Structure 1
């Protein structure tokens, strides 16, 4: 056999070995895009230790920001955590990979209350991760005034230059709609016009739009903020007795956030391992204790410390829950909200 042929065979073998090694190494990671403050460093480390898979995390501040990233392509996202209505949108746009039930044995632990929702009736593309409400958080160290409803935030001279609204088209427009007694899913032009006028007036007094509200509340950058319950409760945990969270009297929103795999994900098997891990009882207990968001497994609430089990901000009473709405995909009518938001943000 010639030396050239032998050398060629050796080089080929080396290249094949390198390719296999690179593929194996690449397979040992997974890219998660998730809301801020929704997965603790401890839980990330636990997943990596149990599976040997490196977990890369990026964040987004709204469902629409996530959608834009995915639509641009080459986002590198394997797993994401969109809210209910955004699962519906992404599913209809063929942006999600079907889940492989055989790779998710922990799905049997999930409460039926969170399965087979209208946005994914057979859970073909999504599994619930957690649920939250939205409302108002107040730093009582610096503001003693009465806050019971949206008007106390959106139209309150005492809060001029001192409050924040979520940087989220549906949540923030929804707050203005609720203030006037309308549904967060209305498509009536006159109701949306009234909400827009309310937001344009509020913008003159707002300090910032921000979807991560923990630090701005604790650092007293703002004295009040429209906030997700998990962020408000985390802020309260860091400042016991100082941060109050309430669901406005007019009502607000409740959302189920869901684990999905993005179409074209490069790490499908690792993505399923991540989702299955996050649906384990051990992971969910740790998640609820740190993120203070609602559990989706059957037995979690009973296993929580008593103070969390009895926390009415984490587990609202029935009469409060009945005032909450879920944001829905409105199809072509989504543009009505986008037009309102564009004018609010640019004027």
Structure 2
């Protein structure tokens, strides 16, 4: 009997060990396109022996839909600020274990304790970006200072792209009309919708990955995220210009979260901790060209990046930017307008 118990204990230990090995082999990361460099991926896999399986999404709403289906297999995702709040309210996120994320101490406090997750129970910041307009100056040399110069410019007819993103694109039209991107006033949203329905006749495409379409000259201009615009500019020196419109735009903090029921929670925490290391962030800012969230990163960057106004807007510009907020039941106002815009 004692032999049987010992054997049973040994087998249980083996089973547990096998489970741990299985746990450590891979982690499923769902992230915006062009948001993690191949070098960082390779470094993490080499250091940990954990393979990163990467999938992409083009909007926060697309990520939400994937997770809501319940069979996404996602361990770690990178939703924007307001979507963290939406997903946490819907019980779609796992609470983070701070004991497994020692690099949390490196984060600049200004990016912690935000209104969408005041205790950072579910999220930690990954990068911040703005949204504005990118122009390929080989194709269009005219002035672009405002959303109106993009949305109502006859010279750009059939030559520009808008983000395939309900809140960003309606937000741009709201800003153009002098309203907040977070307006839930039906009259103001209807005015923004009318602006976009009129503009749609001249839009070449809705696209959230804009690097290639700008560099390949598929479009002369595009509503875009600053990180994509700067990556495009890096690939085509002197050709791509990024403008934050004079009416203002959006500022977003994208966050690392673990999806509810993640099959690889240990590996997920290891990935998050790795991505919050100083070495990883310096690589990330240099390659993705998004804003850093750690305390010491900016000072460690090359001077040309520290002085890049598109990467680090001045205070006057930052004051014109808004963070998109979750509007609860009133999100339906945006969703219904977007459905009409996309299907009209």
Moved over 3 A (4+): 13-23
Check conservation: 2:23, 2:266, Cα contact below 8 A. no
Q: What CA distance in whole angstroms lies between the structure 1 residues aligned with 2:100 and 2:106?
A: 14
Q: How far is the alpha carbon of 1:27 from its aligned partner?
A: 3.0
Query: What stretches of structure 1 of length at least 5 have no aligned partner?
Result: 1-9
Q: TM-score, normalised by structure 2?
A: 0.95
Q: Partner residue of 1:253? A: 250
Aligned to 1:136: 133
Question: What RMSD over aligned residues (CA atoms) do the two structures have, in Å?
Answer: 1.8
How far, CA to CA, are the matches of 2:123 and 2:241 in structure 1? 33
Give the match for residue 71 of structure 2.
74
Q: Give the one of 296, 299, 302 matched to 2:299.
A: 302
The 3-state SS of whatever aligns with 1:73 is coil
1:313 lines up with 2:325 in the alignment: no
* 1:1-347 alignment runs, 5 A limit: 21=18, 24-347=21-344
Structure 2: how far apart are the matches of 1:325 and 1:17?
53
Show CA shifts across 1:250-284 (max 9, x none).
Answer: 00000000000000001111100000000000000
How far the C-alpha of 1:23 sits from its partner, in A, is: 5.7
Give the alignment's TM-score, normalised by structure 1. Answer: 0.95
Per the TM alignment, residue 50 of structure 1 is displaced from its structure 2 partner at its CA by 1.1
Distance 1:19 1:273 in 2: 19
Q: How many residues align?
A: 339
CA distance in 1, matches of 2:286, 2:100: 26
Task: Give the secondary-structure state (helix, strand or coil) at the position aligned to 1:207.
Answer: strand
Please list every run of 5 or more consecutive structure 2 residues that lacks an aligned counterpart in the other structure: 1-6
